[in-house]
Chains A and B, each alone.
Chain A
Amino acid sequence: MGGTPLPDGIKLMDEQGRRIDGRLPGELRPLKIEAGVLRRADGSAYLEMGHNKVMAAVYGPRECHPRHMQDPTRALVQCHYNMASFSVDDRKRPGPDRRSQEISKIISEALTHVVFTEYFPRTSIDVYIEVLQANAGTRCAGLTAASVALADAGIPMRDLVASCAAGKVANTMVLDLGKEEDNFGQADIPLGYIPRTEEVVLLQMDGDLTADEFRTGLGMAADACKKIYDVQRDALRRRYVVADDGGSEGVK
């Protein structure tokens, strides 16, 4: 990042301040989330953010394997992030690599912070994130989808986690970097955020920024997370609202 020279004929920002895909600096890609898409999983979500397509599935709380990883006092949130071999232009070699291991780890940690793990001792909550199509920002898309899938599985949580990236492209701070911006931009900051409590559960930075730029980027990403949070909540509500025409006997 930063060091890669821009190929000829590509301009990341035009004279009107529009980005390569026509967005303004503070604009998100179109976002669509659907909850409860997989029948066999306890909870699931499908997310599209621009050209990113991500599926998340949650199983559990269930018996923790391997057994030596069990915690007698709380549940383990185990995340498995995986990119499909067809998710990128050049075929991705299938299987876990250093990058997907890192992303699995940071997403597990972000989700552990919101789940009431102490309610399910000795168990494991397994979160599977499958990236079907990638176009930069898949860790944010994965985290956003995973937290919807967790809520859909009926797992008690403090809040949903919304996630979004900010970055620096053509000396401008922008939101939600696309693939070209990610590859040829100057910096990228993925953020996992809980809007109500303003807690940060995931924060990374790739590239160089001044302290002021960093603060601006963080503010932009946090504001965007609030919008994403509303879409997440809406997706969960929509799942049950169709049949919402009366009382349920278990509820009255």
Chain B
Amino acid sequence: MPSGHASRVFIGITNLKRVNGMQRESSRETAREIVVPGDLLSGSGMKAGPGTYVDGGSVYAALLGIRSVRANTVGVVPLAGQYVPMRGDTVIGKIVDMGASNWLVDINAAHPTPLHVNEVPWRVEFGETGRFMTIGDLVLLKVIGVDELAKVQVSMKEHGLRKLAGGMVADVAPAKVPRIIGKNGSMIQVLKNLTGCRIYVGQNGRIWIDGDMDNILLAVEAIKLIEDQAHSSGLTEKVKDLLEKRTGKGE
């Protein structure tokens, strides 16, 4: 995964952008507070962030999650939820159907998404889609637009996007993806370095891993550990320990 995606934090409804390092410290103390839909987050004076709604001038939680305060904005970081596509997401899709000028791709959202021949890096004649990709193929795509009817447009034309040959795919809860990537990509870097696998993390909760079979299984084990313990601290160290022990590296 290009490093640009690594720092991206996934939030259920909207994308919560990191503001800056200064706010991080102050938000730390309040960050652990678990909120439930309907909980009052702020009486007044705070702006409503993602995962919240405003009623009578006060901000309330709309999701089950963790209260987060950044600058003057209060939001909720979700603990669960389905993948909701957003522009700019890099996702791993699976071809489920073919048309004469498009493929239908399952990107783990509520609906499959068409991938038009104009959005792939090859010149595809009308009716020739099957010669390039067929049902069951995995693809690395970028979400280039989502309209008000939640219709998604995807593209394979940007640098680094391609058809994924070989490897394996692990499914995780989309809400846990930021944890697998880690702060500035720290966690995914540990995974890549210690297993020697090539890994792409899709924002839609699919992770593509390629390498030796033993290393792939080790990476999957580490990913499951991260998913199970996503809300505990010192996880990067735990994963490091596990991988170093198994691979014999580090000591």
With A154-B82, A240-B231 already in contact, the answer to whether A250 and B10 are too (CB < 8 A) is: yes
Which of chain A's residues have a CB closer than 8 A to the CB of B47? none
Chain A residue with Cβ nearest B52: A156
Chain A residue with Cβ nearest B64: A151
With A154-B80, A155-B81 already in contact, the answer to whether A246 and B233 are too (CB < 8 A) is: yes
Which of B81, B110, B177 lies in contact with A153, CB distance below 8 A?
B81
Q: Is the CB of A160 within 8 A of B36?
A: yes
Q: Is the CB of A244 within 8 A of B38?
A: no
Which of A43, A60, A119, A252 lies in contact with B183, CB distance below 8 A?
A252
Segment 23-38 of B: residues with Cβ below 8 Å from A? 24, 27-28, 31-32, 34, 36-38
Beyond the given pairs A152-B64, A249-B236, 10 more chain A to chain B contacts, judged by CB atoms under 8 angstroms and listed by A's residue number, are A42-B82, A60-B82, A63-B111, A72-B149, A154-B63, A237-B34, A240-B79, A243-B229, A246-B234, A248-B31
Query: Closest approach, in angstroms, between the C-beta of A34 and any C-beta of chain B?
Result: 15
CA distance A50 to B186 in the complex (A): 49
Q: Is the CB of B36 within 8 A of A237?
A: yes
Interface CB pairs A-B, < 8 A, 20: A42-B80, A60-B82, A63-B111, A116-B62, A122-B110, A123-B110, A152-B64, A153-B81, A153-B82, A156-B62, A157-B37, A158-B37, A232-B36, A236-B34, A236-B36, A237-B34, A247-B32, A248-B31, A248-B232, A252-B24
With A61-B82, A251-B68 already in contact, the answer to whether A157 and B38 are too (CB < 8 A) is: yes
Which of B31, B34, B53 lies in contact with A116, CB distance below 8 A?
B53
Q: Does B13 contact A (CB under 8 A)?
A: yes
Q: Is the CB of A60 within 8 A of B64?
A: no
CA distance A155 to B51 in the complex (A): 10
Which of chain B's residues have a CB closer than 8 A to the CB of A116? 53, 62
Query: Closest approach, in angstroms, between the C-beta of B57 and any C-beta of chain A?
Result: 14
Q: Is the CB of B64 within 8 A of A251?
A: no
* Max count, chain A CB within 10 A of own CB: residue among B28, B32, B79, B110: B110
Which of A61, A119, A154, A249 lies in contact with B79, CB distance below 8 A?
A154
What size tier do the contact residues of chain B reach? 35 or more
Chain A residue with Cβ nearest B183: A249
Q: Is the CB of A121 within 8 A of B149?
A: yes
Query: Closest approach, in angstroms, between the C-beta of A129 and any C-beta of chain B?
Result: 19
Which of chain A's residues have a CB closer than 8 A to the CB of B63? 151, 154-157
CA distance A87 to B176 in the complex (A): 38
- Which residues of B approach A to under 8 Å, CB–CB? 9-10, 12-13, 24, 27-28, 31-32, 34, 36-39, 51, 53, 55, 60, 62-66, 68, 77-82, 84, 110-111, 148-150, 175-179, 182-183, 186-187, 229-236
Which of chain B's residues have a CB closer than 8 A to the CB of A250? 9-10, 77, 176-179, 230
CA distance A244 to B232 in the complex (A): 6
CA distance A232 to B64 in the complex (A): 12
CA distance A151 to B187 in the complex (A): 29
CA distance A197 to B60 in the complex (A): 12
- Interface of A, secondary structure class, is loop
Query: Closest approach, in angstroms, between the C-beta of A231 and any C-beta of chain B?
Result: 12
Q: Is the CB of B148 within 8 A of A121?
A: yes
Q: Is the CB of B233 within 8 A of A247?
A: yes
Q: Is the CB of A160 within 8 A of B31?
A: no
Segment 102-123 of A: residues with Cβ below 8 Å from B? 114, 116, 119-123
Which of A196, A240, A248 lies in contact with B179, CB distance below 8 A?
A248
Which of chain B's residues have a CB closer than 8 A to the CB of A61? 82, 110
Chain B residue with Cβ nearest A194: B38
With A121-B149, A252-B31 already in contact, the answer to whether A159 and B37 are too (CB < 8 A) is: yes
Q: Does A211 contact B (CB under 8 A)?
A: no
Q: Is the CB of B12 within 8 A of A120?
A: no
Query: Closest approach, in angstroms, between the C-beta of A187 and any C-beta of chain B?
Result: 30
CA distance A98 to B179 in the complex (A): 47
Q: Is the CB of A152 within 8 A of B150?
A: no
